[in-house]
Amino acid sequence: MAIESPRELTAENLRLWAAAYLAHLLDRPAAEIDLYRALSEFGLDSMDAVVMAGEMEEHFGVEIDPATFLREATLGELIAELAPLAGREGR
């Protein structure tokens, strides 16, 4: 699913994209997506994780391991890991 949101790799854009993506996937309003919950708690299965990593890569032009989405990490922590790449690998 293509998410219409800014593609520049910034913490804010990652947050916007992830909230919109998860809202669509889980069929819930984006405002209800708590980005500070562990990613594993969203209940994504391994296929969801692979697809989400692919979509995120295409959107932002960074490399993301699908296993990320099955870890204990929160989306906030993932964003903190990715944010330093901003301006380096971003499109």
Partner 1 sequence: MKALAPAEINPLVPGFLADPFAAYRRLHQAGPVLWHPKLRLWLVAGHAAARQVVRNPVFLSAPAGPIVATLAARAGYVFPMLARSLGVVPFVLNPPAHPPVRRFAASILTGKPLAGYEPVMRALAVRLLGEARAAGGFDAAADFADRLPTLFMGHLLGVPEEEMPGLRRYTDDIAKLFNQLLHVREYRELDGRLGGGLELLERIAAERRRAPRDDAISRMVAARPEGGALSDAEIAAYCLMTFLVGSETTAALIGGAVRILLESPAHYAELRGERALLKPAVEEFLRCETPVQLLSRFASADAEAGGQRIAHGERMVVLLGAANRDPAAYPEPDRFDPRRDGAAHLAFGEAAHACIGATLARTEVRVALDAFLDLPPLRLRAPGRYGSYDWLRRLRQLPVEFA
Residues within the interface to partner 1 (CB under 8 A): 40, 43, 45-47, 49-51, 53-55, 57, 63, 65-67, 70-72
Least distance CB 60 / partner 1 (angstroms): 13
Least distance CB 57 / partner 1 (angstroms): 6
- The Cα 33–Cα 38 span in angstroms is 11
**Residue type for position 76:** G
CB nearer partner 1, residue 66 or residue 82: 66
Residue ranges of alpha helices (H) inside the chain are 11-26, 46-60, 75-82
CB nearer partner 1, residue 51 or residue 86: 51
Query: CA separation (Å) from 8 to 12, 80, 91?
Result: 10, 15, 7
Least distance CB 3 / partner 1 (angstroms): 13
Could you say which DSSP state residue 90 is in?
-
